[in-house]
Amino acid sequence: MSILEYAPSPETTAPHIRERYGLFIEGRWVSPASGRYVPTINPADESVLAEVAFAEAADVDRAVRAARKAYDKYWRKLSGAARAKYVYRIARAITERSRELAVLETLNGGKPIRESRDFDVPAAAAHFFYYAGWADKLEWALRAGRTAHPIGVCGQIVPWNFPLLMAAWKLAPALACGNTVVLKPAETTPLTALALAQIVAEADLPPGVVNVVTGDGSTGAALVEHDDVDKIAFTGSTEVGKIIARATAGTAKRLTLELGGKAANIVCADAPLDQAMEGIVNGIYFNQGHVCCAGSRLLVEERIHDEIIERLRARIETLRLGDPLDKNTDIGAINSRAQLDKIHELVDSGVEAGATLVQQSCWLPERGFFFPASFFTGVQPSHRIAREEIFGPVLSVMTFRTPEEAVEKANNTPYGLSAGVWTDKGSKNMWIAQQLRAGVVWCNTFNQFDPASPFGGYRESGFGREGGVHGLHEYLAH
Ligand code: NAP
Ligand code: MG
């Protein structure tokens, strides 16, 4: 316990939440064909926030038809400059409503308000601003002599860890390139996608250009299987990614997959240690570790192992776990009971395998889903905690002796989404970065994002890129 205690500092903005949300199809809120609605909760206290429509295949079909009509009738015929105005309007509206959206994201997802306020919402707006700028310059994104054509109707399926930001990553380039969209948010986090639908309506986009269908995995599957969808863009687990790859194989549908990861964060003995410690902490505890590119495998050079462990032990005691709406909170709620169970199962497997578990000493709130900041020492590369994605605030620490060994251990994974390297030697930094088989490698930093910079994976982390010029190519037929 520290001598100085923090006074509670809860965010007081109360966003308007409706009792019940319909589906957003053809510019209007409509009832699901089945009449079925399901509650969506706040994972920090398990209270019900709203009821949300459950879309089945008939509703998905209605949304795809609306998207097709909007594509043929309006959107593909508009000039890039005209589309840019709409995309820009969405960006402006997100900025104007940033506080409301941040609170909503925290209420429904469990992440600390500091993160939704300072990262999720500004980054979502930045993506719309960035792609608005491309809409009338698409020819410049292609090789000389090529003409930019949209693909058509895109089905976009997003996960619960960055609900608004993942929706922005998908919608902004799709719209800028002239496609129309049916968006399927995750079952546990529909509210900011529905707020975005409201923003789309108020930005006066032609009806049907953006449609939002809430439901669960079966809703996503109906979208994937729909005959009139030209492209599926999916972010989520490798397991579901494989199902989708099989379902779209042999069809004319285009596909991009942004899947899981098990990133190595490599810290050499000559690294700037104060900065590296913050990079380690940010790499794994940001968003409770619900991050596909989390630095969940820490590889430290053997001779600084004990020092790093002592520092980490002290540092996790300073992390504040609790009410996600409190501005001082570092570790918020786990997104769902199912995810909390998955974290417990994997952590138990680590203990059983003989690794040593270290956890922050703190009280967990009685209600809601919480897990303390944790790390394992004595981890073997064959342990499940070294191989499988835990998707929680749990770090696996391993050691290496030479840069070659660090590279070998880092690449010993079926994933390849991101990685980090910490060393004061520029040439060593570059050499290691070049050897790593990962879509993004951060040097002497971690978790940096910019809309102009592409993001995506290799191997079981998927294919296709989001962000930057690369992200445009995924939404252009060429
Ligand atoms: P998930 O279970 O794969 O779900 C992702 C989305 O797919 C959700 O909207 C889900 O709906 C839907 N879905 C489930 N089954 C489906 C099916 N058979 N067909 C079509 N859609 C289906 O993943 P998650 O557990 O929500 O998210 C965590 C995973 O996402 C982690 O593995 C993480 O690494 C990965 N992720 C990757 C990135 C990246 O950019 N590479 C970013 C964020 C997260 P319901 O939620 O309603 O079931
Ligand atoms: Mg799921």
Residues 6 or more apart whose CB falls under 8 angstroms from that of 321 comprise 329, 330, 331, 332, 360, 362, 364, 370, 372, 373
**Mean of the pLDDT values across residues 283-301?**
98
**Among protein residues, the one whose CA lies closest to atom 15 of ligand 1:** 217
Is the domain of 39 the same as that of 154? Answer: yes
Look up 258 and say whether it is catalytic.
Answer: yes
Could you identify the residue written with the tokens 């939704």?
Answer: 116
Please report whether residue 343 resides in a domain: yes
Could you identify the residue written with the tokens 């050897």?
Answer: 435
Which ligand is closest in space to the CA of residue 161? 1
Side-chain-side CA neighbours of 355 within 13 Å: the count stands at 28
Confidence class for position 2, pLDDT limits 50, 70, 90: low
Please report whether residue 138 resides in a domain: yes
Helix H or strand E encompassing 384: helix 384-387
Q: What is the pLDDT of residues 306-349, one digit of tens each?
A: 999 999 999 999 999 999 999 999 999 999 999 999 999 999 99
Q: Which domain holds residue 368?
A: 264-443
Is the domain of 103 the same as that of 184? Answer: yes
Please report whether residue 54 resides in a domain: yes
Is the domain of 320 the same as that of 198? Answer: no
How many angstroms does the Cα of residue 159 sit away from the middle of ligand 1? 4
The four Cα atoms 157, 163, 164, 165 give a dihedral, to 10 degrees, of -80
Please report whether residue 404 resides in a domain: yes
Tally of structural domains, the chain: 2
Ligand 1 proximity of 224 Cβ (cutoff 6 Å): yes
Is the domain of 305 the same as that of 236? Answer: no
Q: Is the pLDDT of residue 263 over 80?
A: yes
Is the domain of 287 the same as that of 254? Answer: no
Is the domain of 198 the same as that of 295? Answer: no
Is the domain of 108 the same as that of 226? Answer: yes
Ligand 1 proximity of 237 Cβ (cutoff 6 Å): yes
Nearest alpha carbon to residue 82 among 207, 183, 178, 181: 178
Ligand 1 proximity of 295 Cβ (cutoff 6 Å): no
Cα separation, 404 vs 384, in Å, equals: 23
Output the pLDDT for position 4: 72
Cα separation, 33 vs 208, in Å, equals: 18
Which ligand is closest in space to the CA of residue 239? 1
**Mean of the pLDDT values across residues 162-184?**
98
Please identify which of the residues 268, 292, 466, 474 carries the catalytic annotation.
292
Is the domain of 439 the same as that of 349? Answer: yes
Q: Is the pLDDT of residue 147 over 90?
A: no
Ligand 1 atom at minimum distance from 455 CA: 40
Cβ count near 232 (within 10 Å): 24
Is the domain of 406 the same as that of 466? Answer: no
Is the domain of 314 the same as that of 352? Answer: yes
The answer to whether the beta carbons of residues 37 and 176 sit under 8 Å apart is: no
Please report whether residue 69 resides in a domain: yes
Please report whether residue 39 resides in a domain: yes
The four Cα atoms 241, 243, 247, 252 give a dihedral, to 10 degrees, of 20
Look up 177 and say whether it is catalytic.
Answer: no
Confidence class for position 145, pLDDT limits 50, 70, 90: confident
Output the pLDDT for position 448: 97
Residues 6 or more apart whose CB falls under 8 angstroms from that of 28 comprise 207
Cα separation, 118 vs 97, in Å, equals: 13
Is the domain of 439 the same as that of 380? Answer: yes
Please report whether residue 10 resides in a domain: no
Output the pLDDT for position 142: 87
Confidence class for position 472, pLDDT limits 50, 70, 90: very high
Q: What is the pLDDT of residues 40-89, one digit of tens each?
A: 999 999 999 999 999 999 999 999 999 999 999 999 999 999 999 999 99
Ligand 1 proximity of 64 Cβ (cutoff 6 Å): no
* Parallel, antiparallel or unpaired: strands 356-359 and 462-463: unpaired
Is the domain of 311 the same as that of 401? Answer: yes
User: What CATH number does the domain containing 222 carry?
Assistant: 3.40.605.10
Task: Output the six-digit token pair for 442.
Answer: 């951060």
Please report whether residue 219 resides in a domain: yes
Output the pLDDT for position 425: 97
The answer to whether the beta carbons of residues 50 and 191 sit under 8 Å apart is: yes
User: What CATH number does the domain containing 302 carry?
Assistant: 3.40.309.10
Cα separation, 291 vs 111, in Å, equals: 11
**Mean of the pLDDT values across residues 286-303?**
98
Please give the mean pLDDT across all residues of the chain.
97
How many angstroms does the Cα of residue 217 sit away from the middle of ligand 2? 7
Ligand 1 proximity of 117 Cβ (cutoff 6 Å): no
**Mean of the pLDDT values across residues 204-228?**
98
Q: Is the pLDDT of residue 1 over 60?
A: no
Sheet with 254-258, strands from edge to edge, namely 28-30, 23-25, 210-212, 180-184, 153-157, 231-235, 254-258, 462-463
Ligand 1 proximity of 417 Cβ (cutoff 6 Å): yes
Task: Output the six-digit token pair for 325.
Answer: 């709406």
